[in-house]
A and B are shown apart, each in its own frame.
Chain A
Amino acid sequence: MSHNSDQPDLRRRDFIGKTVLAAGAASIAPGVMLTMANAGSDEGVSSKVRWGMLIDTNKCADGCSACVAACNQENGIDLIERPAGQSDAMWDAQRPQWVRKVKLKDNLTGEITNLPMMCQHCEHPPCVDVCPTGASFKRADGLVLVDRHTCIGCRYCMMACPYKARSFIHQDVASQRTGTPRGKGCVESCTLCVQRLDAGDQTTACQDACNREGHQAILFGDLKNPDSEIARALKAYHSRQIRADLELNTGVRYTNI
Chain B
Amino acid sequence: MKKMQYRELYCSSPRYWGGLAFLLFIILVGMGAAFFMEHNGHFVTGMSNQIVWGLPHVFAIFLIVAASGALNVASIGSVFGGPMYKPLGRFSGLLSIGLLAGGLVVLLLDLGRPDRLIVAMTTYNFKSIFAWNIILYTGFFTIVGLYLWAMMDRKFAQYKRPIGFAAFFWRLALTTGTGSIFGFLVAREAYDAAIMAPMFIIMSFSYGLAFFIITLMAAYWWADRTIGELRLAKLKNLLGVFVGAVLYFALVYHLTNLYVTQHHGVERFILLDGGIYTSLFWIGQVVIGGIIPLFLLYSPAFGHSRLALAVASLMVLVGGFFQVYVIVIGGQAFPMNLFPGKEVLESSFFDGVVAAYTPSLAEALLGIAGVAVAMTLVAIGARMLRVLPESLEDPAEGDCA
Binding site for B on A (CB under 8 A): 68, 83, 86, 89-90, 92-94, 96-97, 100-108, 112-113, 117, 126, 128-134, 150-156, 158-164, 166-172, 184-187, 242-243, 246, 257
- Asked if B158 CB lies within 8 Å of chain A CBs, one says no
Given A94-B49, A169-B41, A171-B43, 4 further pairs, Cβ under 8 A: A103-B347, A129-B127, A130-B184, A152-B112
Q: Which of B138-146, B204-212, B293-301, B332-340 contacts A (4 or more CB under 8 A)?
A: B332-340
Verify B186–A126 contact, CB threshold 8 A.
yes
Verify B338–A162 contact, CB threshold 8 A.
yes
User: What is the bound-complex CA distance between A133 and B134, given in angstroms?
Assistant: 11
Verify A132–B125 contact, CB threshold 8 A.
yes
Q: Known: A133-B119, A164-B336. Contact between A103 and B346, CB under 8 A?
A: yes
- Classify the secondary structure of B's interface with A: loop
Q: Which residues of the partner chain B approach A243 to less than 8 Å between Cβ atoms?
A: 338
- The count of residues in chain B whose C-beta lies closer than 8 Å to any C-beta of chain A is 51
| A171 touches which of B41, B127, B346 (Cβ 8 Å) | B41
Verify B349–A117 contact, CB threshold 8 A.
yes
User: What is the bound-complex CA distance between A160 and B43, given in angstroms?
Assistant: 21
- Asked if B185 CB lies within 8 Å of chain A CBs, one says yes
- Asked if B307 CB lies within 8 Å of chain A CBs, one says no
Verify A101–B112 contact, CB threshold 8 A.
no
| A107 touches which of B116, B127, B184, B342 (Cβ 8 Å) | B342
User: What is the bound-complex CA distance between A1 and B273, given in angstroms?
Assistant: 103
Verify A103–B344 contact, CB threshold 8 A.
yes
Q: Which residues of the partner chain A approach B336 to less than 8 Å between Cβ atoms?
A: 162, 164
Interface residues of B in 303-338 (CB under 8 A from A): 332, 336, 338
Q: Known: A117-B349, A132-B120. Contact between A168 and B52, CB under 8 A?
A: yes
Q: Which residues of the partner chain A approach B53 to less than 8 Å between Cβ atoms?
A: 155, 159
Verify A105–B342 contact, CB threshold 8 A.
yes
A sample of 23 inter-chain contacts (CB < 8 A) reads: A89-B356, A93-B355, A93-B356, A97-B348, A97-B349, A102-B339, A102-B347, A102-B349, A104-B345, A117-B347, A117-B349, A130-B127, A131-B128, A132-B134, A134-B124, A152-B119, A153-B113, A155-B112, A161-B187, A162-B187, A168-B49, A170-B42, A170-B43
Verify B111–A153 contact, CB threshold 8 A.
yes
Verify A107–B187 contact, CB threshold 8 A.
no
| A97 touches which of B49, B187, B343 (Cβ 8 Å) | B49
Verify B356–A151 contact, CB threshold 8 A.
no
Verify A86–B112 contact, CB threshold 8 A.
no
Tell me the nearest residue of chain A to B123, going by C-beta. A133
Verify A184–B41 contact, CB threshold 8 A.
yes
Can you list, as one digit per residue, whether each of B114-138 has a CB less than 8 Å from chain A (1) or not (0)? 1011011001110111110010000
Shortest CB–CB separation between residue B239 and chain A, in angstroms?
32
Verify B130–A130 contact, CB threshold 8 A.
yes
Shortest CB–CB separation between residue B236 and chain A, in angstroms?
37
Q: Which residues of the partner chain A approach B127 to less than 8 Å between Cβ atoms?
A: 128-130
Q: Known: A94-B48, A159-B188, A159-B332. Contact between A186 and B348, CB under 8 A?
A: no
- Asked if B341 CB lies within 8 Å of chain A CBs, one says yes
Q: Known: A92-B348, A132-B134. Contact between A160 and B185, CB under 8 A?
A: yes
Binding site for A on B (CB under 8 A): 38, 40-43, 47-50, 52-53, 111-114, 116-117, 119-120, 123-125, 127-131, 134, 181, 184-188, 332, 336, 338-339, 341-351, 355-356
User: What is the bound-complex CA distance between A162 and B185, given in angstroms?
Assistant: 9
Shortest CB–CB separation between residue B374 and chain A, in angstroms?
21
Most buried by B among A93, A112, A167, A186: A93
Q: Which residues of the partner chain A approach B128 to less than 8 Å between Cβ atoms?
A: 129-132, 156
Tell me the nearest residue of chain B to A91, going by C-beta. B43
| A166 touches which of B40, B49, B343 (Cβ 8 Å) | B49
Shortest CB–CB separation between residue B375 and chain A, in angstroms?
26
User: What is the bound-complex CA distance between A192 and B356, given in angstroms?
Assistant: 30
Q: Which residues of the partner chain A approach B120 to less than 8 Å between Cβ atoms?
A: 132-133, 152, 154
User: What is the bound-complex CA distance between A185 and B344, given in angstroms?
Assistant: 30
Verify B43–A94 contact, CB threshold 8 A.
yes
Q: Which residues of the partner chain A approach B47 to less than 8 Å between Cβ atoms?
A: 94, 170
Shortest CB–CB separation between residue A115 and chain B, in angstroms?
9
Shortest CB–CB separation between residue B101 and chain A, in angstroms?
19
| A152 touches which of B38, B111, B188 (Cβ 8 Å) | B111
User: What is the bound-complex CA distance between A97 and B38, given in angstroms?
Assistant: 22
User: What is the bound-complex CA distance between A187 and B52, given in angstroms?
Assistant: 11
Shortest CB–CB separation between residue B296 and chain A, in angstroms?
36
Q: Known: A133-B131, A243-B338. Contact between A105 and B43, CB under 8 A?
A: no
Q: Known: A130-B128, A159-B188, A169-B41. Contact between A117 and B351, CB under 8 A?
A: yes
User: What is the bound-complex CA distance between A60 and B344, given in angstroms?
Assistant: 16
Shortest CB–CB separation between residue A182 and chain B, in angstroms?
12
| A162 touches which of B43, B181, B186, B346 (Cβ 8 Å) | B186
Verify A154–B111 contact, CB threshold 8 A.
yes
Q: Which residues of the partner chain B approach A186 to less than 8 Å between Cβ atoms?
A: 112-113
Most buried by A among B41, B50, B355: B41
Shortest CB–CB separation between residue B2 and chain A, in angstroms?
50
Shortest CB–CB separation between residue B45 and chain A, in angstroms?
8
Q: Which residues of the partner chain B approach A103 to less than 8 Å between Cβ atoms?
A: 344-347
Q: Which residues of the partner chain B approach A134 to less than 8 Å between Cβ atoms?
A: 123-125
Shortest CB–CB separation between residue B40 and chain A, in angstroms?
7
| A93 touches which of B50, B124, B342, B347 (Cβ 8 Å) | B50
User: What is the bound-complex CA distance between A162 and B337, given in angstroms?
Assistant: 9
Q: Which residues of the partner chain B approach A170 to less than 8 Å between Cβ atoms?
A: 41-43, 47-48
